[in-house]
């Protein structure tokens, strides 16, 4: 058994592998105030919920963009698995050449997703992560990380729209039938869904042209990606657990 954990600004994603099989995935709200014991108890309950054993772990790996929660989570994981988790950061062998101004600034979740994509999809590749922020990373034909674009996430944009306007309500994200909205709800959903889909298509085309290495494959991950990419013109593969898979690849690479 192997445990992969990705701590994001909004959610903590936890996945348990039995060999190469991902036996379950769960998501928790990111709570910076909780203690290691509280997280450990919740993890125990999650394993019981999925009828999964909470013993016999060979190791664990962690990626985090919430530094203040990393040590808390490491303690909780060690209590559950009996292993100190591998924390993705400086000193970890990635096998990926990171060609940016300061490689130490690259987010752990971004790197794990790109490692996963480079091991699963044809290169060059665009890795689209639609979470709290909307990120598109570029992996070139040699498997090097060339950089990325970062834009506000869909949820942040919707929150700002409703909070900064007097007459626009909070809405759930749903793909409308038409781009021309005939009421406030449909108009907001159309602008958000089709607008973000057009942004992704436009950025992907621009990144592909700038890299100038031919047609690029594209994979999307993140909680909002599955439905949103259906409105994109570019062919994009959906892989919700790409970051967890990347953590597993990195753990095996460093263990060897």
Q: What is the 3-state secondary structure (H, E, C) of 98-138?
A: ECCCCHHHCCHHHHHHHHHHHHHCCCCEEEEEECCEEEEEE
Q: What pLDDT does residue 166 have?
A: 61
The domain boundary, picked from 87, 116, 131, lies at 87
pLDDT digits (tens, 9 = 90+) for 149-206: 999 988 888 777 777 776 566 667 778 888 998 888 888 888 889 999 999 999 999 9
Q: Which of 60, 87, 114 is the last residue of a domain?
A: 87
Q: Which of 128, 120, 110, 133 is nearest to 219 (CA)?
A: 128
Q: Are residues 62 and 117 in the same domain?
A: no
25-44 pLDDT, tens per residue?
A: 999 999 999 999 999 999 99
Tell me the pLDDT tens digit for each residue of 44-99.
Answer: 999 999 988 777 889 999 999 999 999 999 999 999 899 999 999 888 899 999 99
3-state secondary structure of 60: strand
Q: Is residue 33 part of a domain?
A: yes
| Same-domain status, 129 and 211 | yes
Q: For the segment 116-146, what is each residue's pLDDT rounded down to a tens digit?
A: 999 999 999 999 999 888 999 999 999 999 9
E-only strand ranges, the chain: 2-7, 11-18, 21-29, 59-64, 86-87, 125-130, 133-139, 145-152, 217-221, 237-238
Co-location of 128 and 62 in the same domain: no
Least Cα distance to 1 among 60, 76, 74 occurs for 60
Cis bond before residue 124 (omega within 30° of 0)? yes
Is residue 252 in a domain? no
Is residue 211 a part of any domain in this protein?
Answer: yes
Burial bucket for residue 113 (CB in 10 Å: 0-12, 13-18, 19+): buried
Per-residue confidence band for 216, with pLDDT thresholds at 50, 70 and 90: very high
Residue 9: pLDDT band with limits 50, 70, 90: confident
Indicate whether 230 belongs to any domain. Answer: yes
Residue 23 belongs to domain spanning: 2-87
Contacts of 163 (CB under 8 A, 6+ apart): none
Domain check: are 61 and 111 in the same one? no
Number of domains forming the structure of the chain: 2
58: CATH = 3.30.420.40
* Mean of pLDDT over the chain: 91
* Tokens read off for 193: 């869904």
In a domain, 210, yes or no: yes
Which of 87, 117, 146 is the endpoint of a domain? 87
Are 49 and 128 in a shared domain? Answer: no
Which residues are catalytic, by number? 109
Q: What mean pLDDT is predicted for residues 227-245?
A: 94
Residue 255 placed within a domain? no
Question: Within this chain, do residues 132 and 229 fall inside the same structural domain, yes or no?
Answer: yes
Same domain, 179 and 58: no
Q: Are residues 26 and 149 in the same domain?
A: no
65/190 same-domain check: no
| Three-state secondary structure call for residue 238 | strand
């Amino acid at each position: 058994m192997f445990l992969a954990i990705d701590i994001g600004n909004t959610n903590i994603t936890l996945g348990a592998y039995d060999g190469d099989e991902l036996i379950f995935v769960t998501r928790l709200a990111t709570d910076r105030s909780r203690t290691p014991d509280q997280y450990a108890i919740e993890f125990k309950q999650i394993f019981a919920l999925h009828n999964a054993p909470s013993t016999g772990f060979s190791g664990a790996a962690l990626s985090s963009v919430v530094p203040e929660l990393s040590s808390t989570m490491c303690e909780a994981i060690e209590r559950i698995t009996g292993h100190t988790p591998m924390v993705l950061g400086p000193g970890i062998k990635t096998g990926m050449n990171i060609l940016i101004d300061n490689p130490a600034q690259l987010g752990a979740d971004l790197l794990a997703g790109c490692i996963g994509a480079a091991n699963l999809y044809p290169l060059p590749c665009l890795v689209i992560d639609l979470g709290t922020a909307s990120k598109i990373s570029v992996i070139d034909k040699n498997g090097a990380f060339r950089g990325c674009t970062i834009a506000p996430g869909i949820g942040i944009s919707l929150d700002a729209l409703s909070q900064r306007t007097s007459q626009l309500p909070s809405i759930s994200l749903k793909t409308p039938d038409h781009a021309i909205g005939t009421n406030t709800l449909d108009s907001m959903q159309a602008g958000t869904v089709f607008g973000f889909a057009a942004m992704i298509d436009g950025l992907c085309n621009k990144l592909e042209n700038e890299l100038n290495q031919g047609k690029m494959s594209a994979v999307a991950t993140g909680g909002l990606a599955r439905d949103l990419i259906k409105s994109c013109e570019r062919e994009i593969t959906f892989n919700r657990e790409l970051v967890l898979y990347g953590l597993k690849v990195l753990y095996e690479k460093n263990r060897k």
